[in-house]
Amino acid sequence: MAKKFSGALGVVPALDIDSHEQFEFVVKSTNAVPGVAGYKLGLTTVLRFGLKESMRRLRDLTDLPVLYDHQKAGPDMPDMAKKYTAMCADAGVDGLILFPVAGPTAVDSFAGEAVKAGLAPVVGGEIPVSDYCISGGGYMADDALDSILARAASVGAKDFVLPAHDATKVKRWSSWIAANVPDAAVFLTGFGSLGGTIETAFVVSAPCKRRYAIVGRLITQSADPAAAARKLFAEMEAVSQRVGV
């Protein structure tokens, strides 16, 4: 059975790491750190070892929940959803980061199949890149994620991934999620060099009671990943106490 992320706050180290030795070092260092809620597995390890073998290696190191990020699954033909989800379920992941930007049918298929398989669809649609949306010179509608969130919630999604760099958007999305999705969880991404800060992101996302930070290089490139994770979690707790949630 898929594991659920527990606790109201938590750090999720993003294991987008080229070296398996560093992969093991980061997980061994952080697995028992209070506040580390789970891990995000990415393509760097999966392309080297395969998804099933990557999960086997990860399960030798931790029992915490694991999200698989296919960088980013979902913008595909809807009939791929069932095949993709079945393979991920067979590998033993607990949730899938999905960016079903191909339209409503893609949302229904990818998020819906994940729900049916007992995996948590962690649904997003925007990344912390300045020229991603039309207003910044990109190709994606500025309000695309608003529509994706609503559609995903309608098929049973309760977990969502938001880019932490845009406080105004995070506040709007978090308020909508809190008002419309019971027991929702928000996963915030893009900290450090990508422009997001724990201080701001965890204030504006406060309408959602369950909030997690997916953090890559601030932890994985640290000489002391455990200390880095502790520091981030302490920042979250301080913000939470200040805003009263």
Here the CATH number for the domain that contains residue 184 is 3.20.20.70
**Measured distance CA(41)–CA(93) in Å, rounded:** 9
Residue 63 exposed, middle or buried by CB count within 10 Å (0-12, 13-18, 19+): exposed
CB contact at 8 A, 45 and 23: yes
**Measured distance CA(165)–CA(127) in Å, rounded:** 9
pLDDT per residue as tens digits for the range 142-175: 999 999 999 999 999 999 999 998 899 999 999 9
For residue 151, what are the domain limits?
9-243
pLDDT value for 85: 96
HEC string of the chain? CCCCCCCCEEEEEEECCCCHHHHHHHHHHHCCCCCECCEEECHHHHHHHCHHHHHHHHHCCCCCCEEEEEEEECCCCCCHHHHHHHHHHHHCCCEEEECCCCCHHHHHHHHHHHHHCCCEEEECCCCCCCCCEHHHCCCECCCHHHHHHHHHHHCCCCEEEEECCCHHHHHHHHHHHHHHCCCCEEEEECEHHHCECHHHHHHHCCCCCEEEEEECHHHHCCCCHHHHHHHHHHHHHHHHHHHCC
Domain count, the chain: 1
pLDDT value for 175: 95
Within-domain flag for 1: no
Within-domain flag for 54: yes
Within-domain flag for 4: no
Q: Structure pTM? A: 0.94
pLDDT value for 87: 96
Within-domain flag for 216: yes
Within-domain flag for 18: yes
Within-domain flag for 226: yes
Within-domain flag for 3: no
Query: Per-residue confidence of the chain (245 residues) as pLDDT tens digits?
Result: 678 898 889 999 999 988 889 999 999 999 999 999 999 999 999 999 999 999 999 999 999 999 999 988 888 888 899 999 999 999 999 999 999 999 999 999 999 999 999 999 999 999 888 899 999 999 999 999 999 999 999 999 999 999 998 899 999 999 999 999 999 999 999 887 767 788 889 999 999 989 999 999 999 999 999 999 999 999 999 888 887 66
pLDDT value for 244: 65
Report the alpha-carbon angle 83-87-89, nearest 5.
Answer: 115
Within-domain flag for 2: no
pLDDT value for 245: 63
